[in-house]
Structure 1
Amino acid sequence: MAPSPNDKQATASREFWIQAAITYSYIFLWIFLSALVIMVNKYVLAYSGFPFPIALTLTHMAFCSALAFVIIRLGFVETIHMDSSTYFKNVVPIAALFSGTLWLGNAAYLYLSVAFIQMLKAMMPITVFSVGVLMGTEKYSPMYALNMVVVAVGVAAASYGELNFNLVGVIFQSGSIVTESFRLCLIQLLLQARGIKLNPVTTLYYIAPACFAFLLFPFTFIEAPKMIHSETWAVPYGWLSLSAVSAFALNMSVFLLIGRSSALTMNIAGVIKDWMLIGLSVLLFHSPVASFQLVGYGVAFAGVCWYNYQKLQQTVRANVSSNKPPPDVEKEPLLVNNGSPGPRSDR
């Protein structure tokens, strides 16, 4: 006997809720792992007696390189063939910038609270837009520029309200944001323009070893001498292992989300994560957060949201003018940092 319409509707409804539960479980996993990486890195660098951000990042790159190599060699994930010329011209510059992003971003944890770092990260759209205009991946728009002014004012207010402001830490975090912005633009120019598509596993396979090589140079001249001539530090093996495993798992969670979620959903989840990290920073590390600081961050957050909306409207207009079907809002990469391929820099 054929199933009745009610049975079909019940089955479809049940399947919908199952798929929704899986998708939101993946989103929750991504938020949890992203927050875990950040909080563990903060503890390792600022509280465990291991103030060596380059060494921490080297540990991540070595672990991720090894696991990505094993996964690909065992055939769990297919890789792409890349000749040496393509690798050195397209991948190595991106790896160099990503090394700077991770090194400088981790170094900021020595000087700034997790809460304040998350507020400073609201500057990312400004730097991505500015670098994009400079490199030709973005078109200048007075409205976008006004948006960037709003975000800048909000971040400036948040910085003014920071009770434990540290200029060195702000310079490190700002440098991390700038190198990340250049990395994202190079991804558009060097990889996407050539049609090279890398998932998180193959990206780690190609980029993590190069990052490790680049980081060896500053480690040799900056941190290695300190580690040799100082006896006041200790290796927190357990925390370092947890940090490395969490960093790799974070990239795998992105792999799980591909095809099940969207850049828009990731942006919303990212906002939840940022506010959650501010709360965790206050709760776990007793980071002082002033009311004026939260107001400033709220202004910056509103500016970022408005920027995302304008980017979506621009995409809709471009599709209409070219007679393309209207875009699926849930699939539009609104904020290039969330929609970009590559290892996660949420740390």
Structure 2
Amino acid sequence: MGREGSSGSIASESVVKKVLLSYFYVGIWIFLSFTVIVYNKYILDPKMYNWPYPISLTMIHMAFCSSLAVILVRVLRLVDLPSSPTMTRELYVSSVVPIGALYAFSLWFSNSAYIYLSVSFIQMLKALMPVAVYSISILFNKENFRSSTMANMLSISFGVAIAAYGEARFDAWGVLLQLGAVAFEATRLVLIQILLTSKGITLNPITTLYYVSPCCLVFLTLPWAIVEFPILRNTSSFHLDFLVFGTNSLCAFALNLAVFLLVGKTSALTMNVAGVVKDWLLIAFSWSVIRDTVTFINLIGYGIAFLGVAYYNHIKLQGLKAKEAQKKTAPNDEEARNLIEEKESEDSGRKNESQV
């Protein structure tokens, strides 16, 4: 009895520890994601730091992340720890390059949106991510069309449309940029499944940055040379504040590690749910600290979209639970099948004996 009680208390302590660690990982990710978003807004917004060069900012991030990732990968190799999967030139060109291109445009467009839109409204527009991912997955035959799921996607879109209608600082160009960023990011996520995951290749944040960041940097070079370089060249007062841009880039790099930590120790679904909490916190922060205008219609629209996203996450959770249950019952089903086959063979043998 004593042993059973002690084993039960150990099990409960283990569960509590696991739950607390999950909350800790979620807290780190929310904090870093929150920090990067607000920091980028501070740098790019003309009313704040007033450095409206989103391509340059993205390139600084990519250069910093590439350099740090190269150093970390080489250190891991020196101590004989697994640093990166085998990457052939053909695989890099066919898989990593398109993913890197999409990532470059996604970051460029999303950072550009901060110049024109409030933090709160950008988070409301980001609620369209499940809609974009589901639609593109259908396009690439990664998902089957279901009328119930599409109805849920339409409810999310309807909520975002209401939020856009009630936006006090609506800017059509900013909205197009953010919608473009959502479309590029959704396509990137689907292509990761098609081009990498289906081939059994998984990249952690360090190896992702090691392979993808230089690719992003290359793809951003041309638009930067055409759009921003001429302006920066003619701006005599320009100087790079190493403290601001260094800490900003470090936060961006830390966020990538936090994503790996959160997904690796919990699940991608946990990150989606945590993302909803982060969005509400950012909306509250945008309204109370940055003093962005958040209207009642904004909140009603985002509330509808939020319910749609919450229902989508609930369905995903039920699907994961069903898969786990199926995995657990699979060995039992196999055992039962073997027993039935043995019984049938025995019955067949007896029948043959009686006929003889």
* Same topology, TM > 0.5: yes
Name structure 2 gaps, 5 residues minimum: 331-356
Q: How does 1:130-169 map to 2 (within 5 A)?
A: 130-169=135-174
* Aligned counterparts of 1:319 and 1:268: Cα–Cα separation in 2: 20
Aligned length: 324
Most deviating of 152-161 and 223-232: 223-232
Render the CA deviation track for 1:131-154: whole Å, top value 9, x for unaligned. 111111121111122112111110
* Aligned counterparts of 2:55 and 2:244: Cα–Cα separation in 1: 16
State the SS of the aligned residue for 1:241: helix
* Aligned counterparts of 1:144 and 1:236: Cα–Cα separation in 2: 48
Question: Where does residue 125 of structure 2 map in the other structure?
Answer: 120
With over 3 angstroms needed to count, the CA separation of the structure-2 counterparts of 1:326 and 1:285, relative to structure 1, is farther
Question: Where does residue 17 of structure 1 map in the other structure?
Answer: 16
* Aligned counterparts of 1:259 and 1:272: Cα–Cα separation in 2: 20
The answer to whether the 8 A contact 2:263-2:270 is kept is no
Q: How does 1:44-123 map to 2 (within 5 A)?
A: 44-46=43-45, 47-75=48-76, 78-123=83-128
Most deviating of 6-15 and 145-154: 6-15
Q: How does 1:175-194 map to 2 (within 5 A)?
A: 175-194=180-199
TM-score by length of 2: 0.85
The answer to whether the 8 A contact 2:269-2:317 is kept is no
Question: Where does residue 333 of structure 1 map in the other structure?
Answer: none
State the SS of the aligned residue for 1:109: helix
Structure 1 position 311, deviation (Å): 3.7
Name structure 1 gaps, 5 residues minimum: 328-347
Please, which of 247, 252, 257 is the counterpart of residue 252 of structure 2? 247
Question: Where does residue 210 of structure 1 map in the other structure?
Answer: 215
* Aligned counterparts of 2:323 and 2:272: Cα–Cα separation in 1: 22
With over 3 angstroms needed to count, the CA separation of the structure-2 counterparts of 1:316 and 1:272, relative to structure 1, is closer
**1:40 and 2:45 matched:** no
Question: Where does residue 337 of structure 1 map in the other structure?
Answer: none
Aligned CA RMSD, in angstroms, stands at 2.2
Structure 1 or 2: larger helix share?
Answer: 2
With over 3 angstroms needed to count, the CA separation of the structure-2 counterparts of 1:309 and 1:70, relative to structure 1, is same
The answer to whether the 8 A contact 1:158-1:297 is kept is yes
* Aligned counterparts of 1:48 and 1:87: Cα–Cα separation in 2: 38
Give identity over the alignment, percent: 43
Considering only CA atoms, is the larger Rg found in Structure 1 or Structure 2? 2
The answer to whether the 8 A contact 2:73-2:83 is kept is yes
What one-letter code is carried by the residue in structure 2 that aligns with 1:97? L
